Amino acid sequence: MAAQTTYLELSEVEGGSHKFYEVIVDGVEVKIRYGRIGDPGQTQTKSYPTPEKAKAEADKKINEKLRKGYEQAVMGVRKKRPLTRRQVTSSPSTAQRSPILWKFDSGSAAFGIFIDINHCWVGNQNGQVFKLNHQGEVLNQFQLPDGVKCIVADDVWIYVGCDDGNVYDLSGKLPRLAYEIDENIDIFWLDIYDGILGVSDAQGAVVKIDPEGESQWTRLSQGRSGWMIRADVAGFYHGHGAGVTMYDLEFGKQVWHQPTDGTVLFGWQEADKVYAGTSAKKVHCFSKQGEALAVYRCDDFVYSCATAEKGKYVFAGDSSSSIYCFTQTGDRLWKLSTGYGSALSMQLFGERLYIVTTQGALACIDASEAAIKAAHLGELPQTVNIKAPQISGTPVSSLELETTSDTSQGVIVECFQDGSKLRVRVVSPGYHPDWMVQFPKNIREKGVRYLVQEIRESSHGGFYRAYGEIKKLNL
C-alpha cells in the first residue's frame, strides 16, 4: 500500500500563526513534520504494532489539528512570512577610534556573543555560529537553520536562540535541539538558568519553559517588544517598551516594576543588579529588589551594555557606532568609536571589551587604562583583520549519530514512552532511576539506548543534564 500524506496549514492574519502540520502514514510507521510555513520544520517518526493502529493514531492527530483551525492545503502555495528582526540603524561616530586588537568578520550583522576563559562565540543573521580562541582564530563553526538572535551560557552549556523559533545546544560537535518553542512565540531574546528557559517575545510576554521543553507559565508585561530578559535563582528580569519588570521564577508573580525613559533595547545583569539600555539614550541600573540606583547618559539610542565585575565600570554601545565607559555612579570616563558599526551586544572579559556589530564584526578592544589613554592621543595598535573561513558549517539537520558498543567510558541512558512524551532516564548504576534527563529533542527514539559523555545533576537537583558527545548504543 502506498504511503498516505495529509498536509494541513494554519495561517492567521495580522501576525498570527503561520504554520504547517504534515502526517505521512507508511505501513506501521507514522512520520509527522511540523513548523513554520516555508521552513523545513521538525520531524518525528514512530512505529506501531499494526498498520491499523498507525492509521488510527494518525487520524487522531489530524482531527486534533482540524479542531484547532488547521485546514487542508497545498504545500508551497502560501509563502514564508518574514521574521521579526531587531530594526537597527547605524551611523558613523565622530569620536576617536577605539584601540582594537583584532577584528573577525563573520559576514553578516551579529547579535549573539559569549566570552569565557577559553573561547569567543559569535552568531550572525545568516545562522552561522563561530567558536574562536582569544586571538580570533576559528576553532569550529556551525550552520543553524535561520538567523541567530542570541547566545547564552548556562554552566558549561552554550545555547543559541534561532529565528526558526528553537534553541540549540552547541556543547558537542553537532548542534542539538534543546528546546522547541511554540510556533506562536516570536522570540526576541532568551536566557537560561539551571535548565530553566525564559523567553521574551514581540508582544512583551515572558514564558517560562522547563528542562523538558514544556511551558510552565506566561505573563504579559505592560509594554511590547521584550528585547531584554535575564534569569537567576529568584526569577526573570524583563525589559520591554514600558520599563523593567521582575517575575518570581516559580509562579510568575510580578515582584516589582520600574519604568524607564524609552523602550528597553538590551539588558545586562550582575549578582545584585540589572542594567537596561534604552531608546532614550540612557542605561538604567536597578537593584534586584527593584530600587532605582543610577542612570548612565549616552548621546544616542543604547543598543547594548555590559559591566566590569560587580558593576565597577559600566559600558554602553549606541546607534552612532560609539562605545562608552562610566563609573559605577554614572560619571562618563570616555567615549570612542567602534570603527565597525554599532555594537549590538558586548561583554567585558579581563581588560578586553568584546563587541559584535551591525557590520557583522566581532571586535576585541583593549579597554585597559593605558590603552584608552593612548587612544585619546591617537596612538592605536595595529588591528589584525580576520575573515570567516569559506567552508560550510555543520548542518543542524544532520541527525545521524555515531554508533558504539564500547561502554567503558560514558553514561548509558535510554529513551522511553511516557504517555504522549518521549523521555530519557539514566540506566547506568549510581544515578536516580526516576530522574529525567535533559536530552536533545531531535534524536530521541523510543527504546534506544545512548552513551553520553557526561551526565550532570542540575544545580537544584531533581533532574540530570546531558553534556558533550552522544552516541547510539549498538548492543
Mean pLDDT is lowest, of 122-131, 190-199, 389-398, for: 389-398
What are the structural domains, with CATH classification, of the chain?
Answer: 4-72 (2.20.140.10), 100-394 (2.130.10.10), 403-473 (2.40.50)
pLDDT given at position 391: 57
pLDDT given at position 427: 96
Sign of CA dihedral 346, 347, 353, 356: negative
pLDDT at residue 386 tops 60: yes
Q: Do 230 and 236 meet the contact criterion of CB atoms below 8 Å apart?
A: yes
pLDDT given at position 164: 78
pLDDT at residue 397 tops 50: no
Average pLDDT, whole number, for the chain?
Answer: 90
Q: Is 143 helix (H, G, I), strand (E, B) or coil?
A: strand
**pLDDT tier, 70 (very low <50, low <70, confident <90, very high otherwise):** confident
Place of cell 532568551: 190
Report the pLDDT averaged over residues 452-467. Answer: 92
pLDDT given at position 83: 55
Strand partners, 362: 104, 356
| 98 CB neighbour count, 10 Å cutoff | 26
Q: Is 229 helix (H, G, I), strand (E, B) or coil?
A: strand
Q: Residue 243: phi, psi to the nearest 5? A: 130, -150
Report the pLDDT averaged over residues 275-299. Answer: 97
Report the pLDDT averaged over residues 161-172. Answer: 86
Q: Is 328 buried (19+), middle (13-18) or exposed (0-12) by CB count in 10 A?
A: middle
pLDDT at residue 392 tops 60: no
| 33 CB neighbour count, 10 Å cutoff | 17
pLDDT given at position 261: 94
H/E run at residue 302 = strand 302-307
> Beta strand pairing status for 254-258 and 264-269?
unpaired
What's the rounded Cα separation, in Å, for the pair 153 and 333? 30
**pLDDT tier, 310 (very low <50, low <70, confident <90, very high otherwise):** confident
Report the pLDDT averaged over residues 382-407. Answer: 76
Q: Is 13 helix (H, G, I), strand (E, B) or coil?
A: coil
Q: Residue 94: phi, psi to the nearest 5? A: -95, 0
Report the pLDDT averaged over residues 186-207. Answer: 90
pLDDT at residue 398 tops 80: no
Residue 62 identity: I
Q: 334 versus 224: which is more confidently predicted?
A: 334
pLDDT given at position 395: 52
What's the rounded Cα separation, in Å, for the pair 128 and 118? 20
Q: Do 235 and 223 meet the contact criterion of CB atoms below 8 Å apart?
A: no
Place of cell 528597553: 264
pLDDT given at position 438: 94
92-150 pLDDT, tens digit per residue, is: 888 899 999 999 999 999 989 999 999 999 999 889 999 999 999 999 999 888 889 89
Report the pLDDT averaged over residues 340-357. Answer: 96
Nearest to 466 by CA among 457, 475, 233, 177: 457
419-454 pLDDT, tens digit per residue, is: 878 999 999 999 999 999 999 887 888 899 999 999
24-64 pLDDT, tens digit per residue, is: 999 999 998 887 788 777 777 888 889 899 899 989 889 88
**How much of the chain, in percent, has pLDDT values that exceed 70?**
93
pLDDT given at position 445: 87
pLDDT given at position 16: 56
Report the pLDDT averaged over residues 6-29. Answer: 80
Q: Which DSSP string corresponds to 349-414?
A: ETTEEEEEETTSEEEEEE-SHHHHHHHHTT----PEEEE--SSPPEETT--PPPEE---SSSEEEE
Report the pLDDT averaged over residues 254-279. Answer: 96
What's the rounded Cα separation, in Å, for the pair 134 and 116? 9
pTM over 0.85: no
**pLDDT tier, 399 (very low <50, low <70, confident <90, very high otherwise):** low
What's the rounded Cα separation, in Å, for the pair 435 and 433? 6
Q: 365 versus 95: which is more confidently predicted?
A: 365
What's the rounded Cα separation, in Å, for the pair 327 and 340? 25
Q: Which DSSP string corresponds to 46-85?
A: EE-SSHHHHHHHHHHHHHHHHHTT-EE--TTSSPPPPPP-
Q: Do 470 and 454 meet the contact criterion of CB atoms below 8 Å apart?
A: no
